[in-house]
Structure 1
């Protein structure tokens, strides 16, 4: 992943991306069930971090299901602005999953829902090390990603629009 390329893609398409994906959980009953259970088990564990939050659809669902001390982060400052406009009661900030600017053991739980699509294997290893560093002992990390045989390079697709 070239971070600058990914940032440029999402900055250029933030509003359109949000229009297309903000309500995606409505069509994903398993994801909603998983997130509801995650919220139930982690609401009392302290702050929760949503990595690669996009326009805030996942963190909104978690907030609506009992998680209160929550922070959404994304690499794109434009998508963070959109997330803040859509969810004014939730805190958002720009952050890089490969260089998390938080102290060790800062979060009781961490979510990365469909947020690793741009990483190669070496970057995934770094991201998991950073997540482990900011997660409190005994904390939970929920990761989701799409599966399939084909490779879809969203960053290339967005640039070529």
Structure 2
């Protein structure tokens, strides 16, 4: 597990379920037109759900070289550009973009999420659109936190750990936090999705959890990380098979308009 992020092939396997469906729904809220910026573009799935005739120029940014290499081959076109970069580190022309997409990405920037929103605000033209989705707190479906914390405590006792214990629920937004972060935007449309996810095998289970599991992966010394994270998934899967752990996907989808100065 040299790369704690999913490989492009693994990403496509997991995103074919809820993640890709959520992206398709998000981009159905309004036509994405003109110059588009895609933050955390992954394998470029945004381009599957946008009309190429409406796109003047597309820029996709992702921190993973593997993802960008995959996307560059899958979506090669004269008006399509992919960049390997941390979004907060890259230099882009202010107020250039008619629309930006930040799908299933913002929560990974916590605690720098406000810096991401502020940078997006500066890059989108007044009246331009922001298509945003992010991990959201649980409401109806039972949450995952208690089991995550229990299993993580067991694994941290078994293997040398570094840093403070963190679980993925620490990266979820709630209504107040997301509204406060979006002060430069008007919410045009919102949609809340929360549902349980079912798995047919341990590999399917592990594929789904690998992204969120990266917050656990970083808590162990390099020499035993693979061993520790595999035990972490195995223990979670035992709870899942026994009916004690209900895995759910909870996200909020927002269409936003950049306010005029």
The TM-score range, normalised by the shorter chain, is 0.7 to 0.9
Q: Give 1:57 shift.
A: 1.1
The answer for the alignment partner of 2:89 in structure 1 is 99
The answer for the alignment partner of 1:52 in structure 2 is 40
Provide the rounded CA distance (Å) in 2 between the counterparts of 1:35 and 1:95.
23
The answer for the alignment partner of 1:138 in structure 2 is 127
CA gap 1:26/1:156 in 2 versus in 1, 3 angstroms: closer
Provide the rounded CA distance (Å) in 1 between the counterparts of 2:94 and 2:117.
14
Among 100, 122, 129, which residue is 2:118 paired with? 129
CA gap 1:14/1:128 in 2 versus in 1, 3 angstroms: same
Could you state the TM-score of these two structures normalised by the residue count of structure 1? 0.74
The answer for the alignment partner of 1:79 in structure 2 is 67
Bigger Cα displacement from structure 2, 91-100 vs 16-25: 16-25
Contact in 1 for aligned 2:23/2:103 (Cα 8 Å): no
The answer for the alignment partner of 1:155 in structure 2 is 214
Q: How many residues align?
A: 147
| 1:13-52 aligned within 5 A | 13-21=6-14, 23-24=16-17, 28=21, 31-38=23-30, 40=31, 42-43=32-33, 46-52=34-40
Q: Give 1:37 shift.
A: 3.2
Contact in 2 for aligned 1:77/1:94 (Cα 8 Å): yes
| 1:100-119 aligned within 5 A | 100-119=90-109
Could you state the TM-score of these two structures normalised by the residue count of structure 2? 0.48
Among 41, 49, 58, which residue is 1:61 paired with? 49
Provide the rounded CA distance (Å) in 2 between the counterparts of 1:25 and 1:67.
25
Q: Give 1:107 shift.
A: 0.8
CA gap 1:63/1:52 in 2 versus in 1, 3 angstroms: farther
Provide the rounded CA distance (Å) in 2 between the counterparts of 1:15 and 1:27.
14
The answer for the alignment partner of 2:237 in structure 1 is none
Q: Give 3-state SS (helix, strand or coil) of 2:107's partner.
A: coil
CA gap 1:33/1:118 in 2 versus in 1, 3 angstroms: closer
Provide the rounded CA distance (Å) in 2 between the counterparts of 1:76 and 1:27.
19
